[in-house]
Structure 1
């Protein structure tokens, strides 16, 4: 059994979810809301230390036709930074339709739930049985 952390990267917030390869069920964990890059990676480092994931999953935003955009590049960089800073293999998962299933109300923060959807998609589509 391996633990997996997932991230829904955003410029203001980063949603985090956790799951494992035995149960293959994602659970929302937390939302990182600190402003500076150093503070963000300090919080991520604390999560990596606490959960000791075998890998991390990062949602990869794309246009509906699959074309990349500015946030795609930022998410790739974020995934590379997780791998480089913490030595944890990182997988990118297409997140194009993950937010469509969230019934978000105005002002509600659902980034951790979005991360759980991304992680569940990883378990369903990418992780080995």
Structure 2
């Protein structure tokens, strides 16, 4: 089980157009979405992520791994593994972990639809769906590690 440290955890839902982000603090164990980052180039994404990491100073970074329904690797999961390895080199000694994200996009979409029905979200908030998926990934990681 991860140590409960003073710093927060950052979750990343890597996408080819947008990269969703979410944070959780060990004291609260509650994930909350952050504004997503555009993924227009590796250099720009590295810069934007560096700014987020500098601002929040996470103790651990959780990257969602998009496996196929049967757990098999896909072209996207291989891209995410490369992204996570590159990120780990850039942020060492901060630990970077992969978290199975099967079904998180569907769950995030259902949560967003529920928020729309209840009036807590508008259509323009759909841009944050990737970050809502990152929060779902982080919630799953915390649950898997007995934190919540």
TM-score w.r.t. the length of structure 2 is: 0.80
Does structure 2 retain, via aligned residues, the 8 Å contact 1:54–1:89?
yes
SS in 2 for 1:123: helix
Gap regions ≥5 residues in structure 2: 1-5, 114-122
Q: 2:136 aligns with which of 117, 120, 129?
A: 117
Q: Which residue number corresponds to residue 92 of structure 1? A: 98
Query: Hey, what's the Cα distance between the residues in 1 that align with 2:102 and 2:14?
Result: 13
Gap regions ≥5 residues in structure 1: none
User: Once the 2 structures are TM-superposed, how far is the Cα of residue 78 of structure 1 from its aligned partner?
Assistant: 1.1
Query: Hey, what's the Cα distance between the residues in 1 that align with 2:51 and 2:146?
Result: 25
SS in 1 for 2:69: coil
Q: Which residue number corresponds to residue 51 of structure 1? A: 56
Q: 2:65 aligns with which of 50, 60, 66?
A: 60
User: Once the 2 structures are TM-superposed, how far is the Cα of residue 2 of structure 1 from its aligned partner?
Assistant: 2.8
Query: Hey, what's the Cα distance between the residues in 1 that align with 2:58 and 2:48?
Result: 15
Greater percentage in helix:
2
Name the larger-Rg structure. 2
Alignment deviations for residues 9-60 of structure 1 (CA, whole Å, 9 cap, x no partner): 0111100000111211100011101411101010000011011100100000
Q: Over aligned residues, Cα RMSD in angstroms?
A: 1.9
Q: 2:77 aligns with which of 72, 81, 92?
A: 72
Q: Which residue number corresponds to residue 23 of structure 2? A: 18
| Residue-pair matches, total | 129
Does structure 2 retain, via aligned residues, the 8 Å contact 1:2–1:22?
no
User: Once the 2 structures are TM-superposed, how far is the Cα of residue 82 of structure 1 from its aligned partner?
Assistant: 1.4
Query: Hey, what's the Cα distance between the residues in 1 that align with 2:130 and 2:71?
Result: 22
